[in-house]
Amino acid sequence: MFVTLKPAFLFDLDGTLADTLPDITATTNHVRQLHGLTPVDEKTVRSYIGDGAKALIRRALRELESDRELTEEFVATTFAAYVDHHRDQCTVHAQLYPGAREHLQQLRADGHPIAVVTNKPERFAVPLVQHLGLDAFTSVVVGGDTLPTKKPDPAMLVHALQQLHVDAPNATMVGDGLQDVAAGKALNLRTIGCLFGYGKQDALRAAGPDVLWSAFAVAE
């Protein structure tokens, strides 16, 4: 059994630690353009985010469903185009939310273990974590393709806690999506919902996280 004196903190990435929407929008519109679709705005792309890149692609290209079925093979091919573009794009505009770095610094100074647990594929999550300087606070990054399942399945959280050598109940999950709250609750973790992120605020409130943040580390 793992033991730690200080509770661990597991953070989602997109819409929680960092505003990555401009880069996700740029790559989404690149993929749409490849299939003859017009660009969409950030508000629309924001509604696509939460379940990983392949789910985002399906939502971004659903207009094609009247002409063709979005098969797994089609999505896989399109995902390859997404990867090719986003590999360079993912760090162009991304930035930490105000207060995030300072809060992480304080958590580390107080002895709290930290991990990043995101449905974003590792090939983007790891370089983004490094670009934003988050690797100064943690070496544990669990991406959407680290395991066979993604949030809301709690397996990603279990894996992160194992890497941190922390017992599951002694942790807090912080995220802006229903997936984050559901995964945390499945392990009886304390949960913090980020109203400033990409999830729908009403739905996030209804999910019943233990704490709601109106801005990073600012309780409502």
* Angstrom distances, CA of residue 96 to CA of 39, 51, 108, 176: 26, 21, 17, 14
Q: Quick one: pLDDT at residue 167?
A: 83
Q: Quick one: pLDDT at residue 70?
A: 78
Quick one: tokens of 122? 């590792």
Quick one: tokens of 195? 């109203």
Q: Quick one: pLDDT at residue 67?
A: 55
- Taking 50 as the pLDDT cut, the residues of the chain under it are none
Residue 128 in contact with residue 87, Cβ under 8 Å? Answer: no
Q: Quick one: pLDDT at residue 212?
A: 98
What letter represents residue 200's amino acid? K
Q: Quick one: pLDDT at residue 66?
A: 64
Backbone φ, ψ for residue 205 (5° rounding): -60, -45
Is 88 labeled as catalytic in the residue annotation?
Answer: no
Please name which of 198, 219, 167 lies closest in space to residue 12, comparing C-alpha atoms: 198
Q: DSSP states of 123-190 as a string? A: HHHHHHHHHTTGGGT-S-EE-TTTSS--TTSTHHHHHHHHHHT--TTSEEEEESSHHHHHHHHHTT-E
What domains, with CATH codes, occur in the chain? 8-20+94-219 (3.40.50.1000), 21-89 (1.10.150)
CB atoms within 10 A of CB 140: 19
Quick one: tokens of 174? 């912080």
d(CA 117, CA 25): 21
d(CA 189, CA 169): 5
Instruction: State pTM to two decimals.
Output: 0.93
Cis peptide before 152 (omega within 30 of 0): yes
